[in-house]
Amino acid sequence: MPLSVLLFQSDAGPPINSVLILAQQALFHKRNNDEKKDFCTGQKSNRCPPAGEEAAGNRPANALVDRSRPVCYHVCAGAAVPAGRKGARTLKQRTIERQLYSTLIGGIAIMLLISISITLYYSIYRQKRHVDRTIAETAAIVAHMPQVLQTLQGQGDPEELKEYLNQVLALSSVEIITVCDAAGVRLYHPNEALIGKRFVGGDEQPALEGADPYITTGRGTLGEQRRAFCPVRDDSGRVAGFVMASMLIRSMVYTRGQILAIYLVFALLLALIALVVVRQMMRRLRRTLMGHGPEEFAAMYLQQSGVLDALDEGVFAIDRQSRVILMNSSARRMLDIPPGQAVEGTLITELFPETRLPQVMESGRAQNNVIMDLRGRRIITSRIPLCKDGVCDGAVSVFRDKTEVTRLAEELTGTRFLVDTLRAYNHEFNNKLHVILGYIQMGRLTEAVEFITRSTLLPASALAAVSERIAVPHLAALILGKMIRAKEKGILLTLKPDSRCMADDLIIPPEDCETIVGNLLENAIEELDRRDHPVKEISLGVYCSGQGLLIQCEDTGGGIPPQVLERIFEQGVSTKGENRGTGLSLVHSIVEAWGGQIQVDTEPDEGTGITVSIATQAREASSCIE
- Express each pLDDT in 99-116 by its tens digit: 777 888 888 888 888 888
Spatial contact of 73 and 51, defined as CB atoms under 8 Å apart: no
Phi, psi of 85, deg, nearest 5: -75, 145
List, as own/partner pairs, every contact residues 257-263 make where C-beta atoms lie below 8 angstroms and the sequence separation is at least 24, other chains included: 259/120, 259/123, 259/124, 259/127, 260/120, 263/116, 263/119, 263/120, 263/123
pLDDT given for residue 619 in this prediction: 62
Residues 438-484 pLDDT 10s: 878 888 888 877 777 666 566 667 788 888 899 888 888 889 888 88
- Residue 574 reports pLDDT greater than 80: no
Amino acid 109: pLDDT: 84
CA angle 68/72/75 to nearest 5° reads 145
- The residue-averaged pLDDT of 297-325 equals 84
Confidence grade of residue 301 (pLDDT, cut at 50, 70, 90): confident
The mean pLDDT value for 507-517 works out to 89
CB atoms within 10 A of CB 192: 10
What is the structure's pLDDT at 244? Answer: 92
Q: What pLDDT does residue 453 have?
A: 62
How far, in Å, CA of 426 to CA of 407, rounded? 28
Q: Check residue 82 and report its DSSP letter.
A: P
- Strand pairing class (548-555; 537-545): antiparallel
**Is the model's pLDDT at 617 over the cut of 80?**
no
- Mean pLDDT of the region 208-224: 86
Mean pLDDT across the stretch 576-601? 79
Query: Please, which pLDDT band fits residue 421 given cuts at 50, 70 and 90?
Result: low
The mean pLDDT value for 490-512 works out to 89
- What's the pLDDT at 88? 34
pLDDT score recorded for residue 103: 82
With left for phi above 0 and alpha for psi between -120 and 50, is residue 459 left, alpha or beta? beta
Q: Report the distance separating Cα 490 and Cα 536, nearest Å.
A: 7
* Residue 280, phi then psi, degrees to nearest 5: -65, -40
- Domains, the chain, ranges and CATH? 118-256 (3.30.450.20), 312-455 (3.30.450.20), 461-621 (3.30.565.10)
What pLDDT does 538 receive? 94
H/E stretch holding 186: strand 186-188
Is residue 224 scored above 50 in pLDDT?
yes
| C-beta separation of 387 from 364 below 8 A | yes
The rounded distance, in Å, linking the Cα atoms of 188 and 329 is 95
pLDDT at 45 over 90: no
With contact defined as beta carbons under 8 Å apart, do 202 and 178 qualify?
A: no
Query: For residues 243 and 152, what is the distance between their CA atoms, to the nearest angstrom?
Result: 11
Mean pLDDT of the chain: 76
Helices (H), 323-454: 329-334, 348-351, 357-363, 402-441, 445-454
Q: Would you state the pLDDT for residue 521?
A: 92
In whole angstroms, give the CA distance from residue 462 to residue 15.
47
Res. 334: pLDDT tops 70: yes
Amino acid sitting at position 483: M
Predicted confidence (pLDDT) at residue 555 exceeds the cutoff of 90: yes
Q: Dihedrals φ, ψ of 105, to 5°?
A: -65, -45
Of the given ranges (184-188, 366-370, 579-583), which has the lowest mean pLDDT? 579-583
| Parallel/antiparallel/unpaired status of strands 492-495 and 537-545 | parallel
DSSP-assigned beta bridge partners for residue 347:
323
What is the predicted pLDDT for the residue at 510?
Answer: 87
163 pLDDT band, cuts 50/70/90, is confident
Answering whether pTM is above 0.75, one says no
Per-residue H/E/C for 214-243: EEEEEEECCEEEEEEEEEEECCCCCEEEEE
Q: Is the dihedral of CA 337, 342, 343, 346 positive or negative?
A: negative
CA dist., res. 98 & res. 7, Å (int): 38
Q: Is 40 helix (H, G, I), strand (E, B) or coil?
A: coil
- One-letter identity of residue 206: P
d(CA 486, CA 538) in angstroms, rounded, equals 9
* H helix or E strand, kind and range, residue 346: none
Closest of 283, 204, 280, 269 to residue 243, by C-alpha: 204
> What's the CA gap between 177 and 494, in Å, rounded?
130
- pLDDT value of residue 444: 81
Query: 586: pLDDT confidence band, cut at 50, 70 and 90?
Result: confident
- Enter the DSSP assignment of 192: G
